Amino acid sequence: MSEHPTRIAVTGGLGGVGSWVVDRLADDGYDVLAIDTHTPEQHVENVRFFSADLTDAGETFDILHAFDPEAVIHLAAIPDPTAHAGTRVFSNNILSAYNVLFAAGRLGSDIVWASSESAYGFPFSESLLLPEYLPIDESHPMRPEDPYGVSKVAGESVAEMVTRRFGVQVASIRPSWVQYPGEYEVSNIRREVAVDEIEAGTKPPGSGNFWSYIDVRDLVELCVRAVEADFDGHEPYLCHAAENYMGVETARLIAALSDGTAPDLSGLSGESCAFTTQKAFDELGWEPEHTWREAESETVDGPSFI
């Protein structure tokens, strides 16, 4: 896309991340279509809300065709496999991703959608799963053992298909555990987990993604930069805060987990995240701005319509 879009559809527009994205786009003056399973009661300037079942191809194509967006940000999904039947998680996520991405591609709309770090398999593996190398980048093998992670791998395959068939660009954002200013859930884990008590080979709280996170405001910024960027084909981008949320050296944390079986730790400096976002910086000029040390106690007004 040579020029910034003016009409953007956002799925999951009333969700945790989606509502922040809709709020940001509306404030920036975009014409926004927000799609979710329900609609809010209040009016929001620059935003039209629609209710839809995105696993229904007819509803999805109907709504997107009527709005004719120049770009689509697909955020709707069941976010993890721990509170829903696995078949429901997978079928919901992959059907909605296929319907939205295919409809968007057929309309010539460029796409940003929420994949996940869970595609690598670390967060929801039954036992501790260590990376092949550190820091983890977009090229690291994806080895999910759960329906959520594999739905994201399948979704990225759909993204590849859509770019080949329709020639639109698709950015697959792979965010870490999303945190909200003043409501950082990771704070509880930091209080619960004593580094000196971690037993090698175990999977204590937070170790599934090596104690990484991302502030919702930084994730929103990456979504906006990706939707405004001009690139070819399908590109995945990791989206993580610059450091772990434990406040100790990342190499020390992973060494405690692995008992000498971890990959080379020399690429990790201090509290730096086990995942690198260098690609997002190089190609989109994005880097995380928020850290748990300030954000977990911040008072920030979120979207007013949820």
d(CA 290, CA 279): 18
If we measure between CA atoms, which residue out of 148, 273, 139, 136 comes closest to residue 218? 273
H helical segments located in 108-146 = none
If we measure between CA atoms, which residue out of 63, 43, 68, 41 comes closest to residue 53? 63
Other Cβ atoms less than 10 A from the Cβ of 182: the count is: 12
Residue 270 corresponds to which amino acid?
Answer: G
Q: Which of 30, 98, 120, 148 is catalytic?
A: 148
Enter the DSSP assignment of 21.
Answer: H
Question: For strand 47-51 and strand 31-36, is the pairing parallel, antiparallel, or unpaired?
Answer: parallel
Catalytic residue at 237?
Answer: no
d(CA 66, CA 61): 8
Length of the chain: 306
Other Cβ atoms less than 10 A from the Cβ of 249: the count is: 17
d(CA 113, CA 219): 12
SS3 12: coil
Identify whether the C-beta of residue 94 lies closer than 8 Å to the C-beta of residue 155.
Answer: yes
The two tokens of residue 28 are 């920036």
Dihedral over Cα of 297, 303, 305, 306: its sign? negative
Active site residue ranges: 148
